[in-house]
Amino acid sequence: MVEKKEERKPRYATLGEVDEKVEKKATKTKVAKKKKASPPKQVPEVVEVIKEVAYVPKRYEVEIYKKSSPLDILAGRYGYYESTDEIKLLEYRDNFGAQIEDLLLGDIMVDGVGISVHNDKKNWITNLCNTEMGYKFYSTPARELNETE
């Protein structure tokens, strides 16, 4: 009896005949597995944290300048403190001291409305830049700072 040698085919794809075993594997479809019911997702609770912010009193400062040529001269500074509700003369030049103190005693007019330094100090210092002051003085807009600075 003559033994037939079976011809071995390469394992990679060829253009020749297709092996039936390989063809069966290629046509075999995968069956999707059923997913198990997952427990409902838990949504984390949102908790609002409200921080209590301590009120920090403000300090308002303005600088007073004297109109002069060729440069204007810094004559002094006023400061208003919310915690004590008072206006203070923070600094002044010696040759303008009396005039700066006189300005602190007077009321101002802004757009036809009078603002008294004795009744409404905060409004007076914040509007000082919007008015004409005597002695050729003018003011810068009020800077708002924390009193602790």
Q: What is the pLDDT of residue 5?
A: 62
Alpha helices in the chain (DSSP H): 20-27, 97-105, 121-126
Give the C-alpha distances (Å, rounded to integers) separating 110 from 22, 74, 107.
Answer: 97, 23, 10
Q: What is the pLDDT of residue 30?
A: 58
Residue 7 lies in a domain: no
Query: Domain tally for the chain?
Result: 1
Residue 79 lies in a domain: yes
Give the C-alpha distances (Å, rounded to integers) separating 56 from 13, 18, 126.
Answer: 81, 86, 18
Q: Are the C-beta atoms of residues 63 and 140 closer than 8 Å to each other?
A: yes
Residue 39 lies in a domain: no
Residue 31 lies in a domain: no
Q: What is the pLDDT of residue 144?
A: 94
Q: What is the pTM of this model?
A: 0.61
Rounded distance between C-alpha atoms, residue 137 and residue 133, angstroms:
6
Containing structural domain, residue 88: 59-146
Residue 41 lies in a domain: no
DSSP symbol at 96: G
Question: 114: how many CB neighbours lie within 10 A of its CB?
Answer: 9
Give the C-alpha distances (Å, rounded to integers) separating 133 from 5, 18, 32, 73, 140.
Answer: 120, 105, 89, 15, 12
Residue 82 lies in a domain: yes
Low-confidence ranges of the chain (pLDDT < 70): 1-39, 149
Residue 103 lies in a domain: yes
Rounded distance between C-alpha atoms, residue 131 and residue 56, angstroms:
29
